[in-house]
Amino acid sequence: MSTNFDANAHVAHMERVMGLTIRDEWRPVVEAHIAATQQAADLVLSFPLEDHVEAAPVFEA
């Protein structure tokens, strides 16, 4: 899991890289969403899979 992920620094970096302007009143919300996305990604990536298992290209009900 990502124990050293800094959502605030990531948002600031991506703002510069992508040429975005995030208004000050929206910054805490954007940072909260990035932090939540990182936590969800950590959960998905921490799920153990055997070496022969591949991601499904198509999901069908």
What pLDDT, in 10s, does the model give residues 31-51?
Answer: 999 999 999 999 988 988 888
Our measurement of the distance from residue 5's CA atom to the centroid of its chain's CA atoms, rounded to an integer in Å, reads: 10
**Assigned domain for 25 exists:** yes
Task: State the pLDDT at residue 3.
Answer: 67
- What is the count of structural domains for the chain? 1
The pLDDT of residue 52: 86
- The string of DSSP codes covering 1-61 is --SS--HHHHHHHHHHHHT----TTTHHHHHHHHHHHHHHHHHHHHS---TT----SS---
Tokens of 54: 């591949």
Q: Which domain holds residue 27?
A: 7-46
User: What residues contact residue 51 under an 8 Å CB cut-off, 6+ apart?
Assistant: none
Residue 2: band (very low, low, confident or very high) from pLDDT cuts 50, 70, 90 = low
- Average pLDDT along the chain: 89
Question: Which residue in the block uniquely carries the two structure tokens 């969403």?
Answer: 33
* Residue 2 belongs to a domain: no
24 in any annotated domain:
yes
57 in a domain, yes or no?
Answer: no
